[in-house]
């Protein structure tokens, strides 16, 4: 029993980290551009499909495929930002509507090009490790490591580099930042693109874990939003923590309770936390 629980704790954390990377994108975009980019789910899906294409069709090594996918998605993010999101800065709902439109466009295009037949990558890293009687798939551990690395790096970048500080300053107080000479528009573009790239990375790694369908993004973006809120929006490490908490709650929840309510378990937790700390678990008052 205890083994079962520990195993699911670990698995929940890994699954949650994948929520976390998208949540990070959500948090950053919201902090800097004031919109919630639901389309990140769609970008994640793109990342997954690009990776599949590079790895299966073009026979590239997986890491190369991943990098390629991330870059491509980043480019799409750039187009989306210059072409669309630029016009909905700091307008939460209009941004929301644009991302809804974007989702239907991206999903339908993928369906048109790659059809509804599910894609499943040749296993990148088959086999599992047995750690104290718990069987953990190697690939999941690898993905987990990469996610932690990227999120950690982002955190450092935000706290150590100039761009990062500028971004942080901006999210705290736009006017002041502008006075400090932060080029608002460029900053917002940079962050939007970075966020979509993060989404793309999430998708690229996702592709090595699960099968691909054009609709896979919707599920993850909702989890990501929950995670971002749970930890307190605007909090880098919080995104990861939030994701992991949701992942674990769902995992443990569906061990002891019906799987049918899986999505509910995370939400109950979310609501409880927000009620006792309206600014989120790690959010500052």
Partner 1 sequence: MSLCHLGRLLAGAAALTIGLSTAQAQEMVKLGELEAQTGAINTYGWMSSQGTRLAVEEINNAGGFEVAGKKYKFDLQQVDTRGEPREATVQFRKMMEDKVPFVFGPFLSNIFNAVRPIAEQNDGKFLLMGGATSEHDYLGKPGSSYLIRTWNWDAGPDGFGTLMVQYIKKLGAKKVAMLFQNDAFGKVAVDIYKKIFADAGIELSVDMFEPGTKDFTSSLAKIAASKPDYLFPGYTDAILYDIVRQSLEGGYGAKFFIVRGSIGPALKNKDQIDEYIAYVPKYFEQAESTEPAVKKFIESYKSFYKRDFPYDQAPLCSSSCYDHVYMLVEAMKKAGTVTDVAKIREALLGMRYSGLWNIKFDSTGEQVFSFNIVRVKKGGGIEVQSLDPTAK
Partner 2 sequence: MTRIIPIVAFASAVVAPLLIRSDSTFAIITFGFLLAALAVSFNLIFGFTGQLSFFHAAAFGVAAYMTAILVSDYGWSFWAAIVPALLAVGLLALAVGAICFRFKLREFYFAVVTMAFSEMIRLVVVNWNSVTNGTLGMTVTAQPTLWLPTGSISLTGARTWYYVALLILVATYIICHRVLASWIGRCFAAIRLNEQLGETLGVNIFMYKLLSFVLGSTLAGLTGCFYGFYTGFIEPQYLSITQSLDIVAMVLLGGVNSLFGPVIGGMLLTALPHAINLTAELRIILYGAILIFVIIVMPSGIFGLFSRPRHAV
Footprint of partner 2 (CB under 8 A): 30, 36, 84, 87-88, 91-94, 96-98, 100-105, 107-109, 111-112, 222, 225-226, 229, 233, 258, 260-261, 263-264, 267-268, 270-271, 274-275, 278, 280
Q: Binding of partner 1 at residue 259 (CB under 8 A)?
A: yes
CB of 111 to partner 1, least distance (A): 6
Query: Of 25-33, 77-85, 103-111, 237-245, which part binds partner 1 (CB under 8 A)?
Result: 103-111
Residues 9-68 within binding reach of partner 1 (CB under 8 A)? 11-12, 15
Choose from partner 1, partner 2, none: what does 92 bind? Cβ within 5-8 Å by kind. Answer: partner 2
Report which of 215, 228, 195 is spatially closest to residue 19, judged by C-alpha positions. 228
The Cα 46–Cα 204 span in angstroms is 8
Contact of residue 105 among partner 1, partner 2, none (CB under 5-8 Å per partner type): partner 2
Selected from 61, 63, 101, 118, the binder of partner 1 by CB under 8 A is 118
Q: Which is nearer to partner 2, 117 or 132 (CB)?
A: 117
Residues 206-235 that bind partner 1 (CB under 8 A): 209-213, 215-216, 218-219
User: Taken in order 170, 175, 178, 180, is the CA torsion positive or negative?
Assistant: negative
Region of residue 35 (phi > 0: left; psi between -120 and 50: alpha; otherwise: beta): beta
What are phi and psi for residue 129, nearest 5 degrees? -100, 140
Closest C-alpha among 14, 27, 23 to residue 205: 14
Residue closer to partner 2 by CB (options 138, 277) is 277
Q: Quote helix, strand, coil % in the chain, to nearest 5.
A: 75, 5, 20
In the complex, the smallest distance separating the C-beta of residue 30 from partner 2, rounded to whole angstroms, is 7
Alpha-carbon radius of gyration of the chain? 19
Check if the beta carbon of residue 12 is closer than 8 Å to that of residue 256.
no
DSSP 8-state symbol, 53: I
- Judged by beta carbon distances under 5 to 8 A according to partner kind, the member of partner 1, partner 2, none in contact with residue 103 is partner 2
Stretch 122-151 residues interacting with partner 1 (CB under 8 A)? 127-128, 135, 137
Beta carbons within 10 angstroms of residue 53's beta carbon: 19
- CA 149-170-227 angle, to 5 degrees, is 45
Q: Which does 267 bind (CB under 5 to 8 A by kind): partner 1, partner 2, none?
A: partner 2
């Amino acid at each position: 029993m205890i083994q079962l629980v520990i195993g699911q704790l670990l698995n929940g954390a890994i699954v949650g980290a994948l929520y976390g990377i998208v949540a990070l994108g959500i948090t950053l975009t919201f902090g800097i551009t004031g919109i919630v980019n639901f389309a990140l789910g769609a970008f994640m899906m793109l990342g997954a499909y690009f990776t599949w294409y590079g790895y299966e069709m073009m026979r590239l090594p997986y890491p190369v495929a991943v990098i390629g996918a991330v870059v491509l998605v980043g480019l799409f993010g750039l187009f989306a930002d210059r072409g669309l999101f630029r016009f909905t800065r700091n307008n939460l709902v209009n941004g929301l509507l644009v991302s809804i439109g974007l989702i239907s466009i991206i999903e339908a295009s993928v369906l048109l090009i790659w059809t509804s037949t599910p894609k499943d990558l040749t296993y990148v890293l088959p086999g599992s490790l047995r750690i104290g009687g718990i069987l953990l798939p190697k690939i999941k551990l690898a993905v987990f490591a990469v996610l932690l690395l990227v999120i950690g790096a982002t955190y450092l970048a935000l706290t150590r580099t100039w761009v990062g500080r500028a971004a942080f300053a901006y999210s705290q107080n736009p006017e002041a930042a502008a006075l400090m000479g932060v080029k608002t528009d460029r900053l917002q573009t940079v962050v939007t693109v970075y966020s979509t790239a993060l989404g793309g990375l999430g998708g690229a790694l996702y592709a090595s874990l699960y099968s691909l369908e054009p609709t896979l993004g919707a599920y993850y973006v909702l989890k990501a939003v929950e995670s971002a809120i749970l930890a307190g929006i605007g909090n880098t490490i919080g995104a990861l923590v939030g994701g992991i908490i949701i992942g674990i709650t769902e995992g443990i929840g569906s061990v002891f309770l019906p799987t049918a309510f899986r999505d509910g378990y995370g939400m109950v937790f979310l609501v409880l936390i927000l009620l006792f700390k309206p600014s989120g678990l790690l959010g500052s008052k």
